[in-house]
Amino acid sequence: MKKKSSARQQKQRLGFGLLTLMAILTVIPIVAVVVYIFVLGAPAVNLEFITGFPRDGMRAGGILPAIVGTFYLTLGTAIFSVPLGIGAAIYLSEYAPDNRATQLIRIAIINLAGIPSVVYGLFGLGLFVLFLDFGTSILAGSLTLSIMTLPVIISTAEEALRAVPQAFRTVSISVGATKWQTIRKIVLPQALPGILTGVILGLERAAGETAPILFTVAAFFLPRLPNSPLDATMALPYHLYVISTQVPGMPIKIQYGTALVLLVFVLSMNLIATTIRSRARARRQW
């Protein structure tokens, strides 16, 4: 009797150990990437690198145009995708009847998320750059990135809205609030942290993508800052691609320095999202 139970306990320990190992294994790649990029890139990063323009065929100087370009692209993507995405999420969560049309919208959103990013790039080239004649510009690039970001924002925002207890809505209606008042005063404020988290995660993806900006906005070498939404611009992910593959004699620390700046940009957005979420969880009253 005793022997049997100890065998079971051994199995239990084995299973537990195995699962712990798996959890640790998943941490290794992210830590490795960050450390590797940091070690190789840090020596390149100084004030000139962040605030200066590229010189000597991009082999020296700074990457300011690419940093500013990525910032503008992220901002532009936010301007288009955030209102549209949140609006769509509110419709789907609060208003949409359960019928064929709604199912069709949902299927469309799911499939939008599955399209390879290079296809978005090609689509953006066809629609925004050529047909609408925006040219290779921040406008065309932001719109292309927006389409790619929308499904992420819509699905996370819808989830956040649905997580707000139904009872709040019922009570609000029962004291004479309209549906819209209920959404604006109760549901949206409660869902806001979750929505913001989704928005930031979506924008973070947009900031790091290369393929969608390849044909729509990114300039190979443009050592000045853009001064209108119809300007082309350099951007960090594409710049990294260019200096890693297209320029002979490129110092390796410049490549990793650029990668490090991009990584810090994206990871700090991630950090903001995580902070918002954990603060909201601690304060939440339901």
Partner 1 sequence: MNKITIENLSLKYSDGTESLRDINLEIPDQQISVIFGPAGGGKSSLLRTLNRLNDLADVVEREGTIKIDDQDIYQPGYDVIQLRRIVGMVFARPVVLPMSIRENLTYGLEVAGIRDPNLLENVLETSLKKAALWEEVKDRLEDPGVALSGGQQQRLCLARVLALEPEVILLDEPTSGLDPISTGKVEESLQELKKEYTIILVPHSVQQAARTADQAAFLLQGELIEVASGEVMFTNPQQQRTQDYIQGRFG
Binding site for partner 1 (CB under 8 A): 165, 167-168, 170-178, 181, 185-186, 190, 284-286
Instruction: Provide the minimum distance between the beta carbon of 186 and partner 1 in the complex, in angstroms, as a whole number.
Output: 6
10 Å Cβ neighbour count for 131?
Answer: 9
Instruction: Give whichever of 67 and 90 is closer to partner 1, judged by the CB atom.
Output: 90
237 near 255, Cβ under 8 Å?
no
Instruction: Give whichever of 170 and 270 is closer to partner 1, judged by the CB atom.
Output: 170
Instruction: Provide the minimum distance between the beta carbon of 274 and partner 1 in the complex, in angstroms, as a whole number.
Output: 22
Instruction: Provide the minimum distance between the beta carbon of 174 and partner 1 in the complex, in angstroms, as a whole number.
Output: 5
Instruction: Give whichever of 77 and 190 is closer to partner 1, judged by the CB atom.
Output: 190
Instruction: Provide the minimum distance between the beta carbon of 85 and partner 1 in the complex, in angstroms, as a whole number.
Output: 24
Instruction: Give whichever of 20 and 178 is closer to partner 1, judged by the CB atom.
Output: 178
Instruction: Give whichever of 167 and 282 is closer to partner 1, judged by the CB atom.
Output: 167
CA 122 remoteness from chain centre: 20
Instruction: Provide the minimum distance between the beta carbon of 282 and partner 1 in the complex, in angstroms, as a whole number.
Output: 13
Query: What are the helix (H) ranges across the chain?
Result: 2-41, 47-51, 64-90, 100-114, 117-124, 138-162, 166-174, 179-182, 188-208, 211-214, 236-245, 252-283
